[in-house]
Structure formats: structure tokens, C-alpha cells
Amino acid sequence: EHLSNHNEEFYLYTAPPKKILKDKTSSLAACHLAPAAVVYCGSESQKELLLTKKKKISHRLEAEAQVSRVLHSTIDGATFSTAGASTSAVRTT
């Protein structure tokens, strides 16, 4: 919903060095990117304005609460499904 073109294929990555997150079903916590990380959006075809020009996509506290729920779903080494959990605390300028 935050893409400037809703039909655009995109990927998430961290840098440096650039590492594309290939598993689109994993949460940021499962990729060891929570509670804090800088995650970039990229596209093979669109080089500019991939995201809409909103100052804040989500509130920091909402993202932290979601991460906390995901991290607390692991008890005694057993991991429970976090398929519905994800975080987005992305800012554009």
C-alpha cells in the first residue's frame, strides 16, 4: 500500500554490503533485523520514488510493539508461528 506504483515488483535489502532478503514470508525478527535495523526497498525496473512520499509510514511505538510480540512468541526454545507478524518503520524524505 505504500508503493508509488502498486503493481511494482520490489525487494528488501540491507547494506553494506548489499544483502537482498529473499524469503518474503519471514518477519524482520526472523531475519534477525529486529528490534532495530535499516532496511531498504529496491526495484529492478523503477529506480526513483519506489515508496509514496509520506513522512511516516508507521509509528515507532507500533513497530516496537509488533516486534515485542514476535520476540515473545519464542518460549523455552520453541518457536511459534509468526506468519502474520511483520514490522515497518520506514521513513522517506
Q: Is residue 4 part of a domain?
A: no
Q: Is residue 1 part of a domain?
A: no
Average pLDDT over the chain, rounded to an integer: 70
How many independent structural domains does the chain possess?
1
Q: Is residue 19 part of a domain?
A: yes
Q: Is residue 6 part of a domain?
A: no
Q: Is residue 71 part of a domain?
A: yes
CB-based contact 90:51 (threshold 8 Å): yes
Q: Is residue 89 part of a domain?
A: no
pTM above 0.95, yes or no: no
Domain enclosing residue 42, as ranges? 11-79
The per-residue pLDDT for range 5-42, each reduced to its tens digit, is: 666 787 888 888 889 988 888 888 888 887 778 888 78
Q: Is residue 86 part of a domain?
A: no
- Cβ-Cβ contacts under 8 Å for 19 (sequence gap 6 or more): 13
Confidence at residue 26, expressed as pLDDT on a 0 to 100 scale: 85
